[in-house]
Each structure stands twice: as C-alpha cells, then as structure tokens.
Amino acid sequence: MSERNTTTILLTSRSIKALLIVVLAVLMSQSPNTAIAQVAGEYKTVTVADPYLEMHTGPGRGYPVFHVVDRDDSIEIIMRRTDWFQVRAPDGSEGWVDRAQMERTLQTTGSEIVFAEANQEDFTNSRWELGVLAGDFGGSNIISLYGGYSINPNVSVEVWGSQILGNFSNGWMGSVNLTHEVWPDWRVSPFFTLGTGVIHTEPKSTIIQGEDRTDQVAHAGAGFRVYASRRFILRAEYKSYVVFTSRDDNEEVEEWKVGFAFFF
Amino acid sequence: MESWFRLLFLERVSLRAVKLTLFIPLFAFGISGCAATKNLFGFGEEETPPPAEIPEGQVIEPEVERREIREPEIDSEDFEIGAFAGIMSIEDFGSDLVYGVRLAYHVTEGFFVEGSVGQSEGGLTSFEILSGGAQLLSVSERTLTYYNLNVGYNVLPGEGFVGEGRAFNTALYISAGLGSTSFAGDNRFTVNFGAGYRFLLNDSIALHVDFRDHLFDIDLLGEEKTAHNLEGTLGVTWFF
C-alpha cells in the first residue's frame, strides 16, 4: 500500500511544530502543582524546630545565608524550586531554605513535616513516565520521545514518536507497545517489550528516485531501566522491527537506543 | 488517511500481523496478572486489613485530627518556558534572524533538561552571488527549522549586582544535545552544544543570553561536510 505523498519542507516544519505543541501540552499537564492556585496570604505555615533556620539569597548551595529565623518562629512557604523552598520570615524577609532544613520544621499541629524526595520505591510504583532516547535504527540516526503509563508495577503501555534521519532516507515512526518488567523493584530493571506502529519513509531526492512509503511495523525488544536518582531514569534498549512492506518480502530492522526519562 | 485505514483494516496480511502483535502482549499481560489475582491492577484499593486490636492498658484511643501539609499544596516552579530571538549564521548561506521557543525542566539545582524549536532563513551562497542567476535552493528550501533536546548544567550559579542595593540571581550554564534540522530539502541529524547566562529579574522571570553551535552534515556544495551553524540569542523565560 505505498502511497505517493507530496511531503514538502513546509509540512515537515509544521509537523515539528505540532510535535512541540504536544510535548508542551504533556509537560504542562504533568506539572502537578500549577493547577492549585496559591492565593496570597494562604501560604502554608510551619514552625522552626531547629535552633535556627538559615535563609539563603538563592535556591542553591553556594548562595550566602543572609537571614536566620529562630526556633519556634513561624515561616510561610511561598514556593518550591527543585530542592529549595522560598519562605517568608515573621519580619517579612524572603529567602531560600534547603529541603534538609525544611524537614526539621513542625506543622501547626506539632507533627513533623515530610518533604518526600522521589526514591527507588517511586521508581517502581510511579505511573507516568516521559523520556527521550537516541541511537541507531538500521544504520540511520533515530531520536525518540515516549510517554508511558504503568497499569501495574510490572506492565506498562507506552506511546512512541520517533524521527529517523539517515543517509538515504528520512522518516517518522509512531508506535504503541506494552512493556513487561520482570523485577520492577530492582535498581537495574530488565524489561521485555512488544508493539506495533506505523513507519513513514521519504527517500532523499538527491540520491534515490524513490517514493514515500507508509508501512506497518511490529517489534519485539528488551532493555534496562536504571534508577539514577530522584526522578531520573536511564534507559537502554534493543528492538527488532519487522516492516510489512507492500513488496513480497518484509524488511527487518534492528534498533539500539539509550536515553533518559523521568517518572511522575 | 485512507491508506491508514486500508493498512489497518483491509489488508489481510497486515491484519494477521496486527492480530498476532496484539495477542502476544495481551498474553504477556495475562501472565503478569496471575501473580496478583486479588489485586490485578496493583494500584487499586487494597483489601482493608482487620482493625488492629487495642493494646491492653490503653483506655482512650487518641483521635488527633491532623492538618498535614501535603507536598502538592506547595507551588513548585521547576519548569521554565520562554521565547528567544537573535542571529544565526548558516554555513555558506549567510546570517539571518533566528527566533524560537524553549521549554526547560529543572531537575536539581544543577541539572536541567530543555527542548527548543527555532527558525531562521538561509541567504545566498557566494557561488550563487558570483554566478549571477544560478539558484541552489528554492525559497521554501532556504527556511531552516530546527528542534533539539538538551541536557544542561548550571556551572557557575551566582549573583549579579546592579548598583549598590540590588542583587539578582544568575547562572552561567552549559548544555548539549541532539535534534533535527530541516534545511535545503532535507531533515538533518543535528548535534548542538553551547553556553548561556541566565539572569533572574525576580523569582519567576529570567533573561537569557545563549551561544550555541549546531552541527549537521550537508553535501549541497559538492562533497559532504559537517557544517557549523553558530547562533547567538537573547531570550525571556518564565518559571512555572
């Protein structure tokens, strides 16, 4: 079922834009806290339990301490950036406090507060995952973006979008696959995957007088997800593709990729 | 669109393949489910355990209503979105205005990941100017569009002082990554690296100065070579 497709550069740049919009939409919807409006004056309040609490001028280790809040004083938490919290002291001065010190503050009820850092348990049990991988697809370069949803700790569904950039042809591939992790609680967690999708190839006009093709693909593969730290995952995988061409024989393509991902 | 439909539903050989590829994952899923038949989907509500017996001697069960602070209630601003504009020099094709958008996610105080899309326009090569009328590329082929996905690191975070009484948080960062550039009738695998300076006007708005080299292979002027395309931009971003 090869179809002649008059794909132009304009269309390609439009599809790049479309891809970006999708990525932005996904990322924005994943920011879990933007939806909750922070009304002025309704910040969460905690009480300092350490002898004192150090406020830095910026959200980083190197920024100097410019203000100290004494024990039993209340501070308001304005916002969080990575592992730093912007707080307001009773005298109105605002500064940044690291997570370790914030952990040693008390809530209004007197109970300790927990600012959980993502850990390996979250790596096993998280539901959403978003990542980028790059590598080799049958001799061509491939860049892939994927989003995954875990049905249970072992099984997840993934949607992939890839761009293939080769010497003789370029193309796009979209696929859906199921992955099965045998030991999801391991730090280096092996997985198997099976899926199907569609590949679109455009031969480079300067080299080959070919026509654009859209074919169905099926793939099987295996790889590793490695918990790096916080929300970071490193991922390496091998997939073997069968392209169901309209010609008599099917094409087989091998793919190797490495990359990183986050879980939410 | 029609061919999609035919591919998926009408072509018999493909249909068999689709069935097969659907069946195998389902089978695998079925097997994994067997281990936890009581709670197949893992995330569902667990069976409630029988209530713990009150230990002897404890007369009153404490019923303290706690107003816990849950993390999501604290506004976390780790994403940065913005636009940039500047000059991009396309090797052999002169320099022109470049503009685009950028989205970054700050993973730690040091590391961040970012994606950008940008567009510029290639001019005439010296060959085209000297030869008089010969055109190597059509107008639409001269439009350069790129996207990239980078990993960055804040090498030198610090403060910038304006006058005596004002201090602004800043960071010198480096970043590198992969992407694709659509130029001269082709999508080209592109590697980019660069450095930039982030100047935070307040806690949410930042100014950027960014210098970057985009490398891709091109064989338009005879032999294949790696083109260096330097880009210098100014940008504004917003943390959310």
Quote the percentage of chain B above a pLDDT of 90.
47
Q: A89 and A186, same structural domain?
A: no
Q: Region A197-221: what's the mean pLDDT?
A: 82
pLDDT in tens, B78-115: 899 999 999 999 998 999 999 999 999 998 888 899 99
Q: What is the pLDDT of residue B71?
A: 61
Spatial neighbors of A83 by CB under 8 A, at least 6 apart, are A98, A99, A117, B108, B109
In a domain, A4, yes or no: no
Is the CA virtual torsion A139, B142, A12, A263 positive or negative? positive
- The residue of chain B nearest to residue A60, with distances taken between CA atoms, is B109
Q: Does position B22 have pLDDT exceeding 60, yes or no?
A: no
Spatial neighbors of B10 by CB under 8 A, at least 6 apart, are none
Q: Give the gap in angstroms from C-alpha A170 to the nearest C-alpha of chain B.
A: 7
Q: Find the CB nearest A17 among B8, B117, B185.
A: B117
Q: What is the pLDDT of residue A21?
A: 64
CB spacing of A152 vs B33 below 8 angstroms? yes
pLDDT in tens, B131-176: 887 888 888 889 999 999 999 999 999 999 998 888 999 999 999 9
CA angle A256, A262, A264 (to 5 degrees): 140
pLDDT in tens, B201-223: 988 999 999 999 999 998 887 78
In a domain, A10, yes or no: no
Q: A126 and A230, same structural domain?
A: yes
Q: In which band, very low, low, confident or very high, does the pLDDT at A191 lie, cut at 50, 70 and 90?
A: very high
In a domain, A30, yes or no: no
CB spacing of B32 vs A155 below 8 angstroms? yes
In a domain, A25, yes or no: no
pLDDT in tens, A4-21: 443 334 444 555 556 556
Q: Give the gap in angstroms from C-alpha B152 to the nearest C-alpha of chain A.
A: 13
Q: A126 and A102, same structural domain?
A: no
ipTM score? 0.72
In a domain, A240, yes or no: yes
Q: What is the pLDDT of residue B157?
A: 92
Q: A231 and A128, same structural domain?
A: yes
Domain count along chain A: 2
Q: What is the pLDDT of residue A19?
A: 59
Q: A158 and A199, same structural domain?
A: yes
Does any CB of chain B come closer than 8 Å to the CB of residue A13?
Answer: yes
Q: Does position B58 have pLDDT exceeding 70, yes or no?
A: no
Q: What is the pLDDT of residue B213?
A: 96
Q: Find the CB nearest B79 among A3, A27, A62.
A: A27
**Average per-residue pLDDT in chain B?**
79
Q: Does position B126 have pLDDT exceeding 80, yes or no?
A: yes
Q: A125 and A248, same structural domain?
A: yes
Q: Does position B10 have pLDDT exceeding 50, yes or no?
A: no
Q: A100 and A188, same structural domain?
A: no
Put simply, the chain A residues between 37 and 56 with a CB less than 8 A from any chain B CB are 38, 44, 46
In a domain, A127, yes or no: yes
Q: Domain spanning B73-239: which CATH class is it, in words?
A: mainly beta
> Which residues of chain A have a CB within 8 Å of the CB of B186?
170, 204, 206
> Which residues of chain A have a CB within 8 Å of the CB of B76?
31, 33, 79-81
- The residue that leads in pLDDT, A182 or B14, is A182
Q: A92: domain CATH number?
A: 2.30.30.40
Which of A66, A194, A213 to mutate to test binding with chain B, by most B CBs within 10 Å of its CB? A194
Q: A224: domain CATH number?
A: 2.40.160.20
> Which residues of chain B have a CB within 8 Å of the CB of A109?
64, 66-68
Among the residue ranges A138-142, A175-179, A248-252, B119-123, the one predicted with the least confidence is A248-252
End position of a domain, from candidates A52, A73, A106: A106
Q: What is the pLDDT of residue A16?
A: 54
Q: In which band, very low, low, confident or very high, does the pLDDT at A224 lie, cut at 50, 70 and 90?
A: very high
Q: What is the pLDDT of residue B172?
A: 96
Distance CA A112, CA A49 (A): 9
Q: A154 and A225, same structural domain?
A: yes
Residue numbers of the domain that contains A62: 44-106
Q: In which band, very low, low, confident or very high, does the pLDDT at B44 lie, cut at 50, 70 and 90?
A: very low
Q: Does position A37 have pLDDT exceeding 80, yes or no?
A: no
Q: In which band, very low, low, confident or very high, does the pLDDT at B55 lie, cut at 50, 70 and 90?
A: low
Q: A209 and A149, same structural domain?
A: yes
Q: Does position B34 have pLDDT exceeding 90, yes or no?
A: no
Q: A194 and A102, same structural domain?
A: no
Q: Region A224-245: what's the mean pLDDT?
A: 90
Q: What is the pLDDT of residue A39?
A: 44
Q: A138 and A60, same structural domain?
A: no
Q: What is the pLDDT of residue B67?
A: 54
> Which residues of chain A have a CB within 8 Å of the CB of B4?
198, 214
pLDDT in tens, A89-130: 989 899 999 888 888 777 777 777 777 677 788 888 888 999
In a domain, A17, yes or no: no
CB spacing of A36 vs B72 below 8 angstroms? yes
> Which residues of chain A have a CB within 8 Å of the CB of B119?
13
Q: A135 and A218, same structural domain?
A: yes
Q: In which band, very low, low, confident or very high, does the pLDDT at A170 lie, cut at 50, 70 and 90?
A: confident
In a domain, A115, yes or no: no
